Amino acid sequence: MAEVASELLPLLRVYKDGSVERLSGSPMVLPSPDEDPETGVSSKDITISENPKISARVYLPKLAQPISTQKLPILFYTHGGGFCFESAFSLVETKLMNALVSEAKVVAISIEYRLAPEHPLPIAYEDSWSALQWVASHSVNNGGFDNKEPWLARFGDFDRVFVAGDSAGANIAHHVVMRAGREKLAGGVKILGAFLTHPYFWGSKPVGSEDTRDFEKLLPSLVWKFLCPNVAGGADNPMINVVSPEAPTLAQLGCRRLLVSVAELDVLRDRGILYYNAVKESGWEGEVELVQVEGEDHAFHILKYETENARKMIKRLGSFVLKQ
């Protein structure tokens, strides 16, 4: 039996042979190529890259006739899970995407980036950026990639590209949008908007109402220290503390619209509010909104997807995408 090297309970266990046992996360589910019975959304799994291994689940809403000329916004999504668990192919993320795609009428792609600790940060950022470049390449006839996805090529409107994520996925989405502000995407594609739900941002010192006595024992502190024990700056590294003095200015955000969502009972709430205010004060020229949901905890719209508040949250995110 393999010997345990370290643990991050209740999330994962690392063995001395290098293997990782994930103790959290929802079960994997198959896509619905013939339409999800609840939403009518179709989905399929694709491979973006073999080396490195990057895959995704692609979604298409039930289309009105005629479909030959119908163009849909594109939603590029990165799932949550503390950088170290969950999957684009899991039950809760698939439920979320089916609901979002049905509500917002988008063609969506949910990225299966490689997870820490086997693949330390910034690998998740690099995988996601590579995947976004691949998506953008569909905007031109010869985008430099051999494996084209027909749903993106046929139905995608590359003037309406959105980047989004939840929790750690919202952190990744932020960094992807920041990079898009510094570097060009294939075909000159621009990101119209981004929404970050319950983003996993953190720091070395408490802010707002965060617990000052047991700050180091809070789960966001424990996860970051476990996954990145030797990273420069610790919890103030710009990967996790995007408002630290060493972080690039938020005025570089490479989109025109931004929505930040927080939940009242979420330990990450005050970081999301801090981020929202920092974006407003940065000199960024886009439009930023803050959505606060009372009485709910982290990722409620994903983990409690059948509740009325979850449905309202999905509608709110959908209206952000559909806004003209």
In a domain, 12, yes or no: no
Q: What is the chain's pLDDT, residue by residue, as a tens digit (324 residues)?
A: 689 999 999 999 999 998 999 998 899 999 999 999 999 999 999 999 999 999 999 999 998 765 556 899 999 999 999 999 999 999 999 999 999 999 999 999 999 999 999 999 999 999 999 999 999 999 997 655 567 899 999 999 999 999 999 999 999 999 999 999 999 999 999 999 999 999 999 999 999 999 999 999 999 999 999 999 999 999 999 999 999 999 999 999 999 999 999 999 999 999 999 999 999 999 999 999 999 999 999 999 999 999 999 999 999 999 999 997
Q: Indicate which residue of 90, 128, 139, 167 is catalytic.
A: 167
Note the pLDDT of residue 143. Answer: 53
In a domain, 152, yes or no: yes
In a domain, 208, yes or no: yes
In a domain, 1, yes or no: no
Burial class (CB in 10 A: 0-12, 13-18, 19+), 27: exposed
Note the pLDDT of residue 145. Answer: 56
Which domain CATH number covers 75?
Answer: 3.40.50.1820
In a domain, 24, yes or no: no
In a domain, 7, yes or no: no
In a domain, 5, yes or no: no
260, amino acid identity: V
Q: Residue written as tokens 């969950």?
A: 86
Note the pLDDT of residue 71. Answer: 92
Report residue 77 as tokens. 């999504």
Note the pLDDT of residue 2. Answer: 81
Report residue 178 as tokens. 């920041």
C-alpha distance from residue 4 to each of 1, 15, 17, 19 (Å): 9, 4, 9, 9
Whether pTM exceeds 0.75: yes
Sequence-distant (6+) residues with CB within 8 A of 282 are 249, 250, 251, 253
**What is the total count of domains within the chain?**
1
Would you give the end-to-end CA distance of the chain in angstroms? 58
In a domain, 225, yes or no: yes
Note the pLDDT of residue 25. Answer: 87
> Residue 167 catalytic?
yes
Q: For residue 216, what are the domain limits?
A: 29-322
